[in-house]
Amino acid sequence: MLRLLAEATGARNVVELGTSNGYSGLWFSLALSKTGGHLTTFDIDKGRFEMARDNFRKAGVDGLVAQVLGDAHKEVARLKDPIDLLFIDADKQGYLDYFTKLLPLVRPGGLIVAHNMASPPPDPAFVKAITTNPELETLLVNMESMGLGITLKKR
């Protein structure tokens, strides 16, 4: 689904919060290899950062990926370019903070995809923010298991 969303929107600038082992980043990279884009991905854990780096290298997509090691709550302040697709998959209690900081950078027509919208449950304030903002349209998918929130920033 991540590859399809990135490719369908013609995403050239994807930002991922929570790299983990690089699995999601690999799917984004498949799309970005077709759209001519790049992925900036953040993780606070050095072990996961290194595992993802190795996985990106083995898959031959490391040239499409900029990894940032550190606290994304602080590091995202360095982002300035418009974001085509924002993927939030880090600390669940931090979703609202990430959303608040990065929504101004998400381009009109861009997507915000939030993972784990059912289990564990996200902060109710985050759910309210993505479902009541008149500039956004949100769809919750696969809520029987982990859940995915897909939010479109209206044009």
CATH, residue 132? 3.40.50.150
Query: Into how many domains does the chain fold?
Result: 1
More confident residue, 123 or 16: 16
For 5-31, the pLDDT digits (tens) are 999 999 999 999 999 999 999 999 999
- Quick one: the chain helix, strand, coil %, rounded to 5? 45, 30, 30
Q: Which helix (H) or strand (E) holds 104?
A: none
For 34-83, the pLDDT digits (tens) are 999 999 999 999 999 999 999 999 999 999 999 999 999 999 999 999 99
Helices 23-35/46-59 angle, 10° precision: 40
Residue with tokens 């302040």: 77
State the pLDDT at residue 144. 66
Residue 103, both tokens = 């929504």
| Cβ–Cβ < 8 Å for 32, 66 | no
Q: Which domain holds residue 118?
A: 2-153
For 72-92, the pLDDT digits (tens) are 999 999 999 999 999 999 998
